[in-house]
Amino acid sequence: MNRYFNALLFAALLMATAAAACTPGTPTPTVRPIDTPTLAPTATNTAAAKPQPTSAPTQVSTPAPTSTPTNIPTAMPTTVPTTANTDYMPYLDDRSDAAAVIHSLFNAINLHQYARAYSYWDDTPQRVTFDQFEAGYQNTASVQITLGAIGVGAGAGNLYAPVPITLNAKTTSGATQTFVGCYLLHLSQPAIQGALPFRPWGIQSATVQLVADNANAADLMSHACDNFGPPPTTLSQPTAAPGDISANQYIDSRTGPVEVLQSLYNAINRHEDVRAYSYWKSTAQNLPGLDQFEQGYNNTQEVTLTTGLVTSDAGAGQIYDTVPVALKAGLSDGTQQTFVGCYVLHISNPDIQTAPPFQPLGIESANVRQVANDADTAALMNQLCGLP
């Protein structure tokens, strides 16, 4: 048993399976969990989770602290682009920051994936029942969103982000409606979440009201979050390089299999072990307990991740993604080690997940082996995944 078995990939090695286990069925070219970007209804008449056709907004019950944030996940944006193309992506399930959550929410609504949409809301007294939530979206064909500048307030280990928003909704009858409001999102600092379940960025409450179609939405949106007091601190972050999973970033995305693995090792690099553990499905093969999982990473300093060709196998509403990986790891004593492996991830098609709790894409199994630092990792990782 090498020492790295007790470090970087302790859990992965415990869950190692035969290479054949990494190839469920006949691999096909990689696909997202959903590859049909059909639009879906959104609500215009019920609950705080939906656009509200009311004359005055309801006061949000949980104001955001306005003190200067500390140790904020560094992927947090300060401002968000105007109408986002992500609203019409085939699939988006990203909680890396407050803006990503809102985009994911309306992506789910536009795809009729109401159980997923509901999952972005924290379980607070402001949240309506799922039946009410789903019923509220039956008369809306699509929604486009525009977000204003987003700041982050921090206090007592918690982060808060009031998000100004304009919603342009089209009903199934062809009518259009415009709403302006403010969503309040919350995250307990991931590094201090010491027990399961891990709680990612989520929506706590919302204040949204119907406005005239010719209203100055930008001006209204600039005041939409005034109920939270002075704007919280606005952060300025450099654009991360593609594939950068270093501790300087905060990546929490389940949009696809590569994103899940990037999120896993980003959590490891940031020493957010509970978050890292959360990317494994509860049904994962030989999954160790959280304490054992955390102990396995005590000596891990930093990991870099390379992924190979992703293949997918779908049948009976179940989607399995197979991902070859190469890992370069540095331990706290300066040792450098190399691993290759094969991860299998699973999700039940979100279209058929029609009731909470929504089960996102997660890791089902892993087969990981240490190799020489100068090994041909590309060839070896393909071999482990049964690829040519």
122 and 195 share a domain?
Answer: yes
- Domain ranges, residue 279: 3-33+256-384
18 and 125 share a domain?
Answer: no
Residue 17 lies in a domain: yes
Which residues face 331 on adjacent strands?
300
336 and 276 share a domain?
Answer: yes
Interval 183-206: pLDDT, tens: 999 999 999 999 999 999 999 999
Does residue 313 sit in helix, strand or coil?
strand
165 and 201 share a domain?
Answer: yes
Structurally, the chain folds into a number of domains equal to 2
Whether the link from the prior residue into 360 is cis, omega within 30° of 0, is no
- Which pLDDT band holds residue 33 (cuts at 50, 70, 90)? very low
Beta-carbon contacts of 35 under 8 Å, excluding residues fewer than 6 positions away, are: 90, 91
76 and 182 share a domain?
Answer: yes
Interval 227-279: pLDDT, tens: 887 767 665 555 778 889 999 999 999 999 999 999 999 999 999 999 999 99
Interval 148-187: pLDDT, tens: 999 898 889 999 999 999 999 999 999 999 999 999 999 9
363 and 329 share a domain?
Answer: yes
The CATH number covering residue 169 comes to: 3.10.450.50
118 and 105 share a domain?
Answer: yes
Mean pLDDT of 311-317: 94
67 and 197 share a domain?
Answer: yes
Q: What is the mean pLDDT of the chain?
A: 80
Last residue within a domain, chosen from 187, 217, 241 = 241
Give me 182's structure tokens. 């403010």
216 and 264 share a domain?
Answer: no
Q: Where are the alpha helices (DSSP H) in the chain?
A: 10-14, 98-110, 114-119, 130-135, 217-222, 257-269, 273-278, 290-295, 377-384
Beta-carbon contacts of 234 under 8 Å, excluding residues fewer than 6 positions away, are: 78, 79, 149, 150, 151, 152
Residue 286, pLDDT score: 84
Higher-pLDDT residue of 285 and 144 is: 144
